[in-house]
Chain A
Amino acid sequence: AAGVIQSPRHLIKEKRETATLKCYPIPRHDTVYWYQQGPGQDPQFLISFYEKMQSDKGSIPDRFSAQQFSDYHSELNMSSLELGDSALYFCASSLVNGYTFGSGTRLTVV
Chain B
Amino acid sequence: AQSVAQPEDQVNVAEGNPLTVKCTYSVSGNPYLFWYVQYPNRGLQFLLKYITGDNLVKGSYGFEAEFNKSQTSFHLKKPSALVSDSALYFCAVRDRDSGRRALTFGSGTRLQVQP
Contacts and interface: CB of A to CB of B under 8 A. Distances in A.
Question: Real complex partners, A and B?
Answer: yes
Interface of A: 31, 33, 41-45, 48, 50, 55-56, 58, 90, 92, 94, 97, 99-104, 106
B43 A55 contact: no
A101 B51 contact: no
B90 A42 contact: yes
Contacts of B105: 42-44
Interface residues of B, number: 23
A43 B44 CA distance: 10
Interface majority SS (helix, strand, loop, mixed), chain A: strand
B102 A97 contact: no
B101 A45 contact: no
Contact of A45 (B36, B44, B104, B108): B104
A53 B46 CA distance: 26
B41 interface: yes
Contacts of A55: 101
Given A42-B107, A43-B90, A48 B42 contact: no
Given A31-B101, A56-B99, A90-B43, 11 more contacts: A42-B90, A42-B106, A42-B107, A43-B90, A43-B105, A45-B102, A45-B103, A56-B102, A58-B102, A100-B46, A101-B43
22 contacts: A31-B101, A33-B102, A41-B107, A42-B105, A42-B106, A42-B108, A43-B44, A45-B102, A55-B101, A58-B102, A92-B44, A92-B103, A97-B49, A97-B51, A97-B94, A99-B103, A101-B36, A101-B43, A101-B44, A101-B45, A103-B43, A104-B42
